[in-house]
């Protein structure tokens, strides 16, 4: 059995261990074969040398994050611990500052974290329209929003427009309580969440009040021409053929668009086909339009999401049917 002691003198030990040692418990859960003890400003690890080296690498990342930001949420703490490879956590620690897309309000660096996300960034720099297709949790929307925020900060565009089809309510929201904004906001919440990670609250409020950043249902795009804008159509699998054609023909001068979707999660009525499938097929060979497919290897949510996606993919495989 090997023992090692790690000093936490450069950070606040209370931030590392968490309230009632909640974060320390996550560390113990991540490395169940190790004996892990907290002693003031130290962590003592006892166990197999290989396990200790793995734990030391994770603790080093956590210390680096705390040194930069001063605090770490329990969610980020768990994400850093949960990553099995450097790519899945490198956005928490600046290994290559040139890869950072934007810095969030808490100092967190937002970057493409997987090979396909990096391809998506590269494609967006060379093309005006990107189709990013893949399952939930692969970072399609988050990467798209980061690209849009970067373009706005660098003054490459004058505004950001984020839109989704409010298909769950059939784009007929009258039966829901509240004013129009209250009716629509639940369907657009994921877009707000991504922006909250990248822009300080006061500045985001200003951008939205002045319509520099606009979040609206897809139906509100009809009849507009969107110039000097970064436009994101999210959940595009829930658009009809006419809707996605309408969206694509809104794009004006000096504008870029990213269309994201998951063709395995179409919520349209059974008698309607997803317009995303047709659009990706017929627009495949047009110069200036790029396509990227993300998969379970790009999942950047909780580590179990990757396993869940694999399980569902396996279940729908005809060869597994008896």
**In this structure, what CATH number is given to the domain that contains residue 34?**
3.30.1370.10
If asked whether residues 248 and 105 sit together in one domain, one would say: yes
Most confident range, picked from 78-92, 153-167, 295-309:
153-167
Question: Distance between terminal CA atoms of the chain?
Answer: 48
Domain containing residue 111: CATH number:
3.40.50.300
184-209 average pLDDT score: 84
Q: Kindly report which listed range (100-104, 126-130, 247-251) carries the lowest average pLDDT score.
A: 100-104
Residue finishing a domain among 60, 88, 116: 88
Task: Reply yes or no on whether the pLDDT at 90 is more than 60.
Answer: no
If asked whether residues 134 and 283 sit together in one domain, one would say: yes
Q: Tokens 């006892």 label which residue?
A: 46
Name the residue with higher pLDDT: 233 or 106: 233
Model confidence at 86, pLDDT cuts 50, 70, 90, reads very low
Q: Which of 103, 122, 202, 220 is nearest to 162 (CA)?
A: 220
Residues of the chain with pLDDT > 90, as a percent, come to: 40
Name the residue with higher pLDDT: 286 or 188: 286
User: How confident is the model at residue 123, as a pLDDT?
Assistant: 95
If asked whether residues 12 and 103 sit together in one domain, one would say: no
User: How confident is the model at residue 115, as a pLDDT?
Assistant: 86
CB 21 within 8 A of CB 36: no
User: How confident is the model at residue 241, as a pLDDT?
Assistant: 93
User: How confident is the model at residue 83, as a pLDDT?
Assistant: 57
Residue finishing a domain among 88, 118, 142: 88
User: How confident is the model at residue 2, as a pLDDT?
Assistant: 86
The overall longest dimension of the chain from CA atoms, in Å, is 70
Planar angle of CA 70, 71, 76, nearest 5 degrees: 135
Residue range 244-269, pLDDT digits in tens: 999 999 999 999 999 999 998 888 88
Q: Is 140 exposed, middle or buried (0-12, 13-18, 19+ CB in 10 A)?
A: buried
If asked whether residues 74 and 145 sit together in one domain, one would say: no
Q: Which residues pair with 42 in a beta bridge?
A: 7, 39
Planar angle of CA 86, 92, 97, nearest 5 degrees: 90
Task: Reply yes or no on whether the pLDDT at 92 is more than 60.
Answer: no
If asked whether residues 63 and 168 sit together in one domain, one would say: no
**In terms of residue numbers, what domain contains 27?**
2-88
Residue finishing a domain among 45, 62, 88: 88
User: How confident is the model at residue 79, as a pLDDT?
Assistant: 78
If asked whether residues 117 and 235 sit together in one domain, one would say: yes
If asked whether residues 172 and 280 sit together in one domain, one would say: yes
If asked whether residues 279 and 206 sit together in one domain, one would say: yes
SS (H, E, C) the chain: CEEEEEECCCCCHHHHHCHHHHHHHHHHHHCCCCEEEEECCEEEEEECHHHHHHHHHHHHHHHHHHHHHCCCCHHHHHHHHHCCCHHHCCCCCCCCHHHEEEECCCCCEEECCCHHHHHHHHHHHHCCEEEEECCCCCCHHHHHHHHHHHHHHCCCCCEEEEEECCHHHCCCCCCCCCCHHHHHHHHHHHHHHHHHCCCCHHHHHHHHHCCCEEEEEHHHHCCCCECCEEEEECCHHHCCHHHHHHHHCCECCCCEEEEEECCCCCCCCCCCCCHHHHHHHHCCCCCCEEEEECCHHHCCCCHHHHHHHHHHHHHCCHHHCC
Q: Which of 9, 12, 6 is nearest to 27 (CA)?
A: 6
Write b or e for each residue in 273-288: b if 16 or more Cβ atoms lie within 10 A of its Cβ, otherwise e: ebbbbebbeebeeeee
If asked whether residues 80 and 146 sit together in one domain, one would say: no
User: How confident is the model at residue 152, as a pLDDT?
Assistant: 93
User: How confident is the model at residue 185, as a pLDDT?
Assistant: 65
If asked whether residues 195 and 257 sit together in one domain, one would say: yes
Checking 94-97 for CB contacts under 8 A at 24+ apart, the result is 94/68
User: How confident is the model at residue 300, as a pLDDT?
Assistant: 67
Q: Which of 129, 121, 140, 114 is nearest to 263 (CA)?
A: 140
If asked whether residues 118 and 83 sit together in one domain, one would say: no
If asked whether residues 147 and 16 sit together in one domain, one would say: no
Q: How many domains does the chain have?
A: 2
56's tokens: 């030391």
Q: What are the angstrom distances between the C-alpha of 15 and each of 24, 36, 75, 214, 283? A: 10, 17, 13, 36, 50
How many whole angstroms separate alpha carbon 2 and alpha carbon 225? 66
Task: Reply yes or no on whether the pLDDT at 87 is more than 50.
Answer: no
């Amino acid at each position: 059995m090997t023992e090692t002691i790690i000093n936490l003198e450069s950070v606040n030990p209370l931030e590392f261990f968490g309230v009632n040692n909640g974060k320390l418990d996550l560390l113990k859960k991540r490395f169940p074969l190790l004996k892990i003890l907290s002693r003031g400003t130290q962590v003592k690890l006892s166990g197999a040398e290989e396990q200790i080296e793995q734990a030391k690498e994770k603790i080093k990342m956590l210390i680096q994050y705390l040194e930069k930001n001063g605090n770490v949420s329990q969610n980020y703490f768990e994400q850093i611990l949960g990553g099995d490879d450097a790519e899945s956590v490198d956005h928490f620690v600046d290994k290559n500052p040139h890869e950072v897309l934007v810095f969030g309000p808490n100092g967190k660096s937002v970057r493409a974290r997987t090979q396909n996300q990096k391809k998506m960034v590269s494609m967006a720099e060379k093309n005006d329209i990107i189709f990013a297709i893949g399952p939930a949790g692969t970072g399609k929307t988050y990467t798209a929003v980061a690209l849009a925020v970067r373009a706005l900060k660098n003054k490459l565009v004058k505004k950001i427009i984020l839109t989704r089809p409010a298909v769950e309510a059939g784009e007929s929201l009258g039966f829901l309580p509240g004013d129009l904004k209250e009716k629509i906001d639940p369907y657009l919440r994921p877009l707000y969440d991504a922006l909250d990670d990248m822009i300080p609250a006061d500045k985001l409020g200003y951008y939205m009040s002045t319509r520099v950043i606009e979040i609206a249902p897809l139906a509100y795009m009809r009849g507009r021409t969107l110039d000097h804008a970064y436009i994101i159509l999210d959940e595009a699998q829930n658009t009809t053929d006419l809707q996605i054609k309408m969206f694509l023909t809104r794009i004006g001068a000096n504008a870029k668009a990213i269309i994201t979707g998951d063709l395995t999660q179409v919520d349209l009525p059974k008698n309607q086909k997803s317009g995303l499938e047709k659009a990706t097929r017929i627009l495949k060979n047009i110069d200036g339009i790029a396509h990227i497919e993300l998969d379970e290897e790009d999942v950047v949510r909780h580590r179990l999401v990757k396993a869940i996606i694999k399980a569902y993919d396996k279940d729908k495989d005809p060869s597994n049917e008896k």
